[in-house]
Amino acid sequence: MSLTQKAIDILTKNDRGGYTIPTSGLYPYQWNWDSAFVALGIATYDFTRAWSEITTLIEGQWPDGMIPSIIFRSDDPDYFPGPSRWGNTLGPIPSTGISQPPVLATVVRTLTDNATAQDKARRAEVYDALYASHKWFHEARTVAGIVTTVHPWETGRDNCPEWNIGLDGMTVAPDLAPYTRMDNKHSDPKFRPSQEQYDKFLTIVQFGQSVGWDQRRLTDEGPFLMADPNIHFVLLRADKDLRAMAVDLGKPTDEIDGWIDKGEAATDYLWNDDLGAFTARDVRTGQFSGGFSNCSALCFYADSGTPEQRAKTLENMERIAARVDYMLPSWDPDAADFEPQRYWCGPLWPQMNYMTALGLSEQGENAMAERVRADLCRAIEQSGFWECFNPVTGEGCVSSQFSWTAAVWLSWQHETKLKGVA
How confident is the model over 303-317, as pLDDT tens digits? 999 999 999 999 999
Out of 34, 158, 332, 339, pick the active-site residue.
Answer: 158
Distances from the Cα of 237 to the Cα of 22, 41, 103, 157, 303, angstroms: 24, 20, 8, 19, 7
Domain count, the chain: 1
Residue 101 forms part of a structural domain:
yes
> How does pLDDT run along the chain (422 residues), one tens digit per residue?
899 999 999 999 999 999 999 999 889 999 999 999 999 999 999 999 999 999 999 999 999 999 999 999 988 888 879 899 998 779 999 999 999 999 999 999 999 998 799 999 999 999 999 999 999 999 999 999 999 999 999 999 999 999 999 999 999 999 998 887 767 665 666 667 788 898 999 999 999 999 999 999 999 999 999 999 999 999 999 999 999 999 999 999 999 999 999 999 999 999 999 999 999 999 999 999 999 999 999 999 999 999 999 999 999 999 999 999 999 999 999 999 999 999 999 999 999 999 999 999 999 999 999 999 999 999 999 999 999 999 999 999 999 999 999 999 999 998 876 676 44
Residue 421 forms part of a structural domain:
no
The CA dihedral of 132, 136, 139, 143, to the nearest 10 degrees, is -150
Residue 409 forms part of a structural domain:
no
Residue 340 forms part of a structural domain:
no
SS3 362: helix
What's the CATH code of the domain at 45? 1.50.10.10
387 catalytic per annotation: yes
Residue 393 forms part of a structural domain:
no
46 catalytic per annotation: no
Distance CA 157, CA 40 (A): 21
Residue 383 forms part of a structural domain:
no
Residue 136 forms part of a structural domain:
yes
